[in-house]
Amino acid sequence: MGPRILVFLVVALSQGCTIPAMTDEADFTALKALKDIWKNVPPTWVGADPCGSRWEGILCANSRVTSITLASMGLKGSLSGDIQSLSELQILDLSYNKGLSGPLPSAIGDLKKLTNLILVGCSFWGPIPDSIGSLPLLASLSLNSNGFTGSIPSSIGNLTSLYWLDLADNRLTGTIPVSTATTPGLDLLVHTKHFHLGLNQLSGTIPPKLFSSEMKLIHVLFESNKLTGSIPSTLGLVKTLEVVRLDNNSFRGPVPSNINSLTSVSTMFLSNNDLTGPLPNLTGMNALTYLDMRNNSFDDTEFPPWLSTLQSLKTLLADNPICQETAVTKSYCTVSQPNSSYATPPNNCVPASCFPKQHSSPNCKCAFPYTGLLGFRAPSFSDLGNITYFSVLEKSLMNSFKSHQFPVDSVHLSQPRKDLSQYLDLNLQVFPFGQDRFNRTAILSIGFMLSNQTFKPPAQFGPFFFIGDTYLHFTGEVRGSKKSSSTGAIIGAAAGGSVLLLLLLGAGLYAFGQKMKAEKAIQQNNPFAHWESNNGVGGVPQLKGARCFSFEEIKKYTNNFSETNDIGSGEYGKVYRGVLPTGELITIKRALREWMQPGLEFKTEIELLSRVHHRNVVSLVGFCLERGEQMLIYKFVSNGSLMESLSGKTGIRLDWVRRLKVALGAARGLAYLHELANPPIIHRDIKSTNILLDESLNAKVADFGLSKLMGDSEKGRVTTQGYLDPEYYMTLQLTEKSDVYSFGVVMLELLTGRRPVERGKYVVREVKMALDRAKDLYNLRELLDPSIGLDTTLKGLDKFVDVALKCVQENGSDRPTMGEVVNEIENILQLAGLNPNADSASTSASYDDVSKGSAKHPYKNSKDSFEYSEGFPDPKVEPL
């Protein structure tokens, strides 16, 4: 130990070790305010540095609190508005704390970075605040099993990133909100997969507008409410549905005839309504395994033949007139009371005799398990005596715990039973591994895995929820007052320790810290320090503005590639949203096997893509080439695609001026790829879903990284139907002019609000046939999107149409370049009295500069051939 280190430690100890805190002051103040009104906070919640001293349940990044997870801690108190100061908070999970009550503060809407709001099984009451609709990144909203009252806020329709919506088991009233001309509604949640609204007091009809073919819903759970009217036929448009529960309401009339279009549905509950007419024809619903239509008024007509065609279907028809017919098979009209005394058996051992409050695990070890109720809202089986179901569930739970490396020895299930809502309830005990009790970290981790739906049960169990009990037996703690007495013992022991020991320990920590800092510095300066030299891709990539991510990092940033982070899929593969430790949101595109390139090609492509930086192009953040995976990581763009806005599903109204600016931004991005990259980047799949809008509605061209960077002879069709260059069918080649054609189709989408091919009609052909330049609006009024503002003066619309039609000329040689398209749109904006550069630093002169030069690529002969960062050569450089 060097003398300087000794002097440093002695001085530090003599001054009380006044080392600067790692936690942002405002964050500490907010946490302290919560701590002051909560009872039973973890005993580590001492001092003034939650991040530095690692308060249990608190995660930080860059001195800011990013996560609070405190499931099953026995907290008591309320949630105050002080939480609004945690402006970097992404996850708030206070589940299974029955002692938490009171209203949810409206200040919750100030947490703009929040992605997960999970308050399952608490005692919060009062209305759900409208401000909850102000959380643009929220992916999971779980407020089930509380005491919330009032109506469902229509503002939830603003949550376009929402994946999971669970408001079940509250006391909510009123109607299901859908959008109007002035307010949002649940129909705008086209990316949401779960509508769980059961066990409330909702009334009125299900608005037909609630459902559409663009939705991605898999669960519609509206059971046990006071809903009336008929079942809307629009339900049959949601082809992704797997579970439908409309039972225990007051629905009337026949079941919609198109219900059999839901060919992915496995479980459907329609019981305890007043449905009439013939039994619905479910021919073709081959995935259906459980159908409950009891206690309705279906006609006593001839028994439908389709029932015999669905061999694996369990059908319940009891208490319907049809069951009075003698020809009806009794099995359909009798209800056996589900009963089971199942309990997980010992694993080839003799159960141990344990101390009071301890339990013997399936491995015959005495311990204090973590307990709770595991509930399944729509199981597709009714035979609770079949123990195979439960053994499969036990294995699934254990596999999930092991994959997360949780210290779990075994799980025990018992007392399976159906409650009044036909939920399947089981008692769950989770036993600790290697000791007789869990520590707090383990309970917090297990609780969060079950509350945020990371665990995926076997398919036959359907959607689930978990209500955990307060855990009272933490390792090394004696539960008593607000603060655990162990805290005092620890402090006392530390104070009474040897000064020499402190010095030695401090020196060791100092040396270790210096070593870690050095390693971190090496990693930051050389992010490929661990690049495998034998991975078949040569030396490390030469990147600019991008980095290499490990598979473990991506796994962490996407919450183990959870469904909550799954925001879509395409031909290339699945798309996930992730959060970096800095709080920056990213989009991860995970390639399917059939799309993966040879390693050297992938490396070459990311080297080129990393040099693409432009205001109107989605930036590549990095990549992952590890464990047989190929992933591209981009910056997250918050307002979704142009197509979603044109369809009205984002709630963003694009008037004429906004559409002009979107067209200009997208054109600039595409021109940049064509006219500065060397070799040129041909996008090959320009379409309205590949033009994204950021928070300021700036257009950004996306997915160019999923096409190849091509030379002169690249072949192969990528372009989506309706956008494809007609010349491709003769040449089998895609060129820059192919992108121009596709962009022209996008311009027509901006005009009409229609998809390229809609109801068998091709927008290019429709516009050309209707066009009459001698008439007002070129005779296109009937084709124009009403949202464009037809009651206003649409300055420049005629010239916009002219540019679009030039782009979709049959012959590529007749089409303009993208640089020329940019100039034309800039002129249109000026004609409309607008500054084309009001929201951008790029200028039209930059395109003129390029066209006047002798070389097409201004950097072609320089050593910076691939340093094509920012706009065209102009003294006014665009910002990133």
Residues 317 and 332 sit within 8 Å (Cβ to Cβ): yes
Tokens of 365: 């070890």
Cis peptide leading into residue 679 (ω within 30°): yes
Q: What is the DSSP code string of 591-614?
A: E-GGGPPPHHHHHHHHHHHTT-B-
In the set 24, 409, 566, 685, the catalytic residue is: 685
Number of other residues whose CB lies within 10 A of the CB of residue 535 = 12
Per DSSP, the three-state class of 859 is coil
Beta strands in 208-342 (DSSP E): 219-221, 226-229, 243-245, 250-253, 267-269, 274-275, 290-292, 314-316
Closest CA to 55 of 45, 65, 64: 45
**DSSP letter (8 states) at residue 570:** -
Q: What is the DSSP code string of 481-523?
A: SSS-HHHHHHHHHHHHS-HHHHHHHHHHHHHHHHHHHHHHHHH
- 200's CB contacts (< 8 A; 6+ apart) are 167, 168, 169, 170, 171, 172, 173, 224, 225
Residues 813 and 838 sit within 8 Å (Cβ to Cβ): no
Residues 473 and 437 sit within 8 Å (Cβ to Cβ): yes
Closest CA to 791 of 598, 655, 687: 655
- What is the torsional sign of CA 152, 157, 158, 159? positive
685 is catalytic: yes
Q: What is the DSSP code string of 672-741?
A: HHHHTSSS----S---GGGEEE-TT--EEE--GGGSPP--S--B---SPTTS--TTHHHH-B--HHHHHH
Q: Which stretch of DSSP H or E encloses residue 424?
A: strand 424-432
Burial category of 252 from C-beta neighbours within 10 Å (exposed 0-12, middle 13-18, buried 19 and up): middle
Residues 629 and 590 sit within 8 Å (Cβ to Cβ): yes
Residues 374 and 430 sit within 8 Å (Cβ to Cβ): no
Integer CA distances (angstroms), 100 to 70, 127, 151, in order: 11, 16, 22
Phi, psi of 571 (to 5 degrees): -65, -35
Cα–Cα distance measured from residue 468 to residue 477, given in angstroms and rounded to the nearest whole number: 20
Residues 326 and 301 sit within 8 Å (Cβ to Cβ): no
Q: Please measure the distance between the N-terminal and C-terminal CA atoms of the chain and give it in whole angstroms.
A: 48
Identify how many contiguous H helices and E strands the chain contains and give both numbers. Answer: 17, 36
Cα–Cα distance measured from residue 731 to residue 238, given in angstroms and rounded to the nearest whole number: 39
Tokens of 49: 């540095």
b/e sequence 167-185, b meaning 16+ C-beta within 10 Å: bbbbebbeebbbbeeeebb
Pairing, β 64-69 against β 91-93: parallel
Cα–Cα distance measured from residue 847 to residue 738, given in angstroms and rounded to the nearest whole number: 20
Residues 131 and 161 sit within 8 Å (Cβ to Cβ): no
Q: What is the DSSP code string of 52-88?
A: TTT-TTEEEETTEEEEEE-TTS--EE---GGGGG-TT
Tokens of 135: 């959380």
Kindly list the catalytic residues: 685
